[in-house]
Amino acid sequence: MLVLVGLVLCLVSADALTAFPPKFQVGKLNGDMVVKCNTSVQHVSWTQNGEPEPMAEMVAEGRTLTILGLDLPATGNYSCWAGPVLLDTTYVVVSSTGKEGMNVSCQAESYRGSFHCSWMGPRSAVFRARLTRSDGSLGQWVPAAGRRGRFSASLADPSFCPFAEELRPMELQLEGLSDTSYLNFSFHFFIRDIVRPDPPQELTVQRRGEQLHLTWAPPASWPLPKSYFALLYRLQYELHNSTQVDRYVEGMEELRLQERVRRVRISCQDPYANPAWSPWSTWQDVDAARQSQLRAQ
């Protein structure tokens, strides 16, 4: 399921960050910003991105630095010093103001309260995500993995109960940070709306006289008991004339076929929630399975 979210980052070309800095502040473009040095030292000096002569117009008063008219060249790493000793560092960025959007896709393999989200973003940005759990508590920030502008994060709600009705949606907060700009966005969703099971497992094919006997098992990640967490199975088999046939089975994990089948595969879905089918299992070759069965005898 795709969750469409309007996310933007205003960026200029510069060296990309590799992680969120321990301390950062976000200001409005062309507004004033006050940065404080966390120290007991009364008189400090300041640098911007390691340069003793910052590009920003600023006023220093003791441990406080006021940046006047914050613009993109004025963003970056502000460090306070006592002589050669580094005392504190604050990364300064501006809030994003663009209007472009991008897609965030979230998916859960079952009702265990864990899920995975992915999205596209600017290559020079870093992202992190945090979950507001079903009991209202905040989870820890999870750094997003990023490669060539594609980002992803896996999160979990340990308080999530798969047997209870979802009365309130989960909230996912997403933060993005570049060398100049910052984004903060939250969106809400229910686990039931993003569930897509893994493929069924242990699909076996046996020839019994004129019949073909198929058996399988639910995905290993799917919760139990089966009577409560039912699955609808979709079997697709291909005849020797290349015709493909679909059969749907609910409440069973076996099927008998009379047709002359060349190969078969299987998928599944939760029949009571948003109908997202699992990926297909790999094709099972019936003739190969028959030969294996004969060797076993």
pLDDT digit string, tens, across residues 148-166? 888 999 999 888 888 888 8
b or e along 276-288 (b: 16 or more beta carbons within 10 Å of the residue's beta carbon)?
Answer: eebeebeebebee
Q: How confident is the model at residue 34 (pLDDT cuts 50, 70, 90)?
A: very high
Spatial contact of 89 and 77, defined as CB atoms under 8 Å apart: yes
Amino acid letter, 287? D
Identify the CA nearest to 161 among candidates 191, 198, 131. Answer: 191
User: Average per-residue pLDDT in the chain?
Assistant: 85
**Cβ 173 vs Cβ 7: under 8 Å:** no
First-to-final CA distance of the chain = 46
d(CA 90, CA 207): 70
pLDDT score at 99: 47
pLDDT for 58: 87
The pLDDT, as a whole number, for residue 229 is 92
Q: Are strands 85-95 and 76-82 parallel, antiparallel or unpaired?
A: antiparallel
pLDDT of residue 10: 34
Q: Using one digit for the tens of pLDDT, what is the confidence trace for 114-132? A: 999 998 877 888 999 999 8
68-115 pLDDT, tens per residue? 999 999 999 999 999 999 999 999 999 875 545 557 889 999 998 899
Q: How far apart are CA 285 and CA 292, in angstroms?
A: 11
Give yes or no on whether 30-95 and 201-296 have one common fold: yes
111 has which bridge partners?
Answer: none
pLDDT of residue 7: 35
Selected from 3.40.50.620, 2.60.40.10, 3.40.50.300, 3.40.50.1110, the CATH number assigned to the domain covering 201-296 reads 2.60.40.10
Give me the pLDDT at residue 4, please. Answer: 34
Return the CATH number of the domain spanning residue range 30-95. 2.60.40.10
* pLDDT for residue 5: 36
CATH 3.40.50.300 fits 2-8+97-193, yes or no: no
Give domain limits for the chain.
Answer: 2-8+97-193, 30-95, 201-296
Average pLDDT estimate for 172-183: 88
- Predicted confidence at residue 102, as pLDDT, reads 58
Q: Does residue 18 surpass a pLDDT of 90? A: no
- The pairing of strands 261-269 and 254-257 is unpaired
Give the mean model confidence (pLDDT) for residues 235-262.
91
- Within a 13 Å sphere around the CA of 177, how many CA atoms are in the beta-carbon half? 21
User: Is omega for the bond preceding 225 within 30 degrees of 0, making it cis?
Assistant: yes
Count Cβ atoms within 10 A of the Cβ of residue 67 and give its class: 0-12 exposed, 13-18 middle, 19 or more buried.
buried
**pLDDT above 80: residue 287:** no
Predicted pLDDT at 135: 75
Residue 14 pLDDT greater than 60, yes or no: no
Poorest-confidence range of 92-106, 193-207, 234-248? Answer: 92-106
Q: What is the pLDDT at residue 289?
A: 55
Q: Which pLDDT score, from 0 to 100, does residue 97 have? A: 59
